[in-house]
Amino acid sequence: MQRAGLIERLHPPLLNLALTAGKLAAKSGIRAYLVGGIVRDLMLGRPCVDVDLAIEGDAVKLAGQMAQKLGARLTVHKAFGTASLKIDDFNVDMATCRSEIYRCPGALPLVSPGALQDDLKRRDFSINAMAVSVNAPDRDVLTDFFGGRRDLSQGLIRVLHNISFQDDATRMMRAVRYEQRLGFKLERGTARLLKRNLDMLDTISGDRLKNELLLWLKEESCPAILRRASRLGITGKLHPALRWQRTMRSAFRRAYASNIVKTPHLFFCLLVYNLNEEQLYKLLARLNLTGSRLDLLSNQSLELRKKCRELAKPGLKRSKIYSTLHGYDSISIQTICCYAVIPTLRSNLALYLKELRQVKTSLDGNELMKMGLREGPRLGAILNKLLAARLDGAVQSKSDEIKLVRRLAGL
């Protein structure tokens, strides 16, 4: 029995956790394994915070014992026979080893308890289908039925069998994510299968596609993922007009080079920026995003795109910039900013984001009422004029504002 030398690479709290799982499992006569991403990342020397444990036996019962022993927070997902433990910043997911049968493409599989080999067989790629035992007598022994270790060393993403993408086409999206994250390549046969099975993406629910897309957008290598997915024809299956373009590359570059907060929401807006109303509507519906915040933000960007000509005029009054952009979310404005090539447009948008949107008048509605104005549209109009005067520098102090209000209201 050859030890893999992997367990000792775990961060001390995770090591303690794995060893505890191993001891408790051995006591109950069952077996526990580190599986999936953690084995891959330990081999690559990448940081690990999430741990997946596969149990040949009752995972929920073992999770309960571990929670008690370690004082961890336990969540049980009864319907799935899985449990999660939270210890400090670490998450541990525990599941009973299972075998899966796909009855039709894209649908969730039929699940039944199984052995470790069954559990590894149902996984996406060889590099994610390895396990390391955490209990005696074979602690730290690697199980690698599919050549995961070899593929890791050769930098290859390989599916486990020829109908993998038919069973679950979200694996295409996962494949590109790992490929670009790790600087790997799709193994030749896997790339061929992916291209041949692109239509299988039509069998996947909007929610699952959305989740995978959001995972792309959370990756550091998000632009590379989008470009690759576009070349492979994956984004085109989400919507035929959704593809990587040169202007998109520049927009992402500007986003990365600027100090704006890089969120998946911003990247989503950058990705869909070139779609027209109808295309955006269809994409959002396909991804089950209708009515979501991403719907709002991307539609705002689309609306703002139509105002770019106006906003690019040189010598625009600050109050005009304000009134044009007021009410739009900063993410929608930043999207336009990343795509803007006309310098005046960029500077007007930046001026609004950095300065104008924070500008406030010294007087508010209550104070205007104390001066004798009545609540209503006229008061609102005067407040707007006051703000415009502030923005344009026509008033600079509270007493300037009082004078202006008196003049406007005829007091």
Residues binding ligand ATP (CB under 6 A):
36-37, 50, 52, 123-124, 128-129, 168, 170-171
Smaller CB distance to ligand ATP: residue 193 or 404? 193
Q: How far is the CB of 10 from ligand ATP (least distance, A)?
A: 15
For residue 137, cis peptide bond before it (omega within 30 degrees of 0): yes
Q: How far is the CB of 173 from ligand ATP (least distance, A)?
A: 9
Q: What is the DSSP string of 240-275?
A: TT----HHHHHHHHHHHHSSS---HHHHHHHHHTT-
Smaller CB distance to ligand ATP: residue 126 or 319? 126
Question: Which residue's structure tokens are 């067989």?
Answer: 121
At residue 32, what are phi and psi to the nearest 5 degrees?
A: -125, 140
Q: How far is the CB of 5 from ligand ATP (least distance, A)?
A: 21
Beta strands in 163-269 (DSSP E): 185-186
Contact 35, 69 (CB under 8 A): no
Q: How far is the CB of 267 from ligand ATP (least distance, A)?
A: 17
Smaller CB distance to ligand ATP: residue 50 or 58? 50
Q: How far is the CB of 128 from ligand ATP (least distance, A)?
A: 3
Q: Of all residues in this chain, which one has the CB nearest to ligand ATP in the complex? A: 37
Of 62, 10, 25, 53, whose CA–CA distance to 74 is shortest?
62
Of 70, 125, 124, 126, whose CA–CA distance to 94 is shortest?
70
> Alpha helix locations (H) across 306-354?
308-311, 318-325, 330-339, 343-354
Smaller CB distance to ligand ATP: residue 9 or 23? 9
Q: What angle do CA 43, 230, 236 make, to 5 degrees?
A: 125
Smaller CB distance to ligand ATP: residue 208 or 254? 208
Q: Sort residue 323 into left (φ over 0), alpha (ψ -120 to 50) or beta.
A: alpha
347 half-sphere exposure, CB direction, 13 A CA radius: 9
At residue 315, what are phi and psi to the nearest 5 degrees?
A: 70, 20
Q: How far is the CB of 146 from ligand ATP (least distance, A)?
A: 11
Smaller CB distance to ligand ATP: residue 52 or 144? 52
Q: How far apart are CA 274 and CA 255, in angstroms?
A: 16
Q: What is the DSSP string of 69-88?
A: HHT-EEEEEGGGTEEEEEET
Q: How far is the CB of 244 from ligand ATP (least distance, A)?
A: 22
Contact 42, 6 (CB under 8 A): yes
Eight-class DSSP state of 347: H
Q: How far is the CB of 260 from ligand ATP (least distance, A)?
A: 25
Containing 44, the helix (H) or strand (E) segment is helix 37-44
Q: How far is the CB of 162 from ligand ATP (least distance, A)?
A: 15
Smaller CB distance to ligand ATP: residue 85 or 302? 85
Smaller CB distance to ligand ATP: residue 128 or 197? 128
Smaller CB distance to ligand ATP: residue 100 or 295? 100
Eight-class DSSP state of 109: P
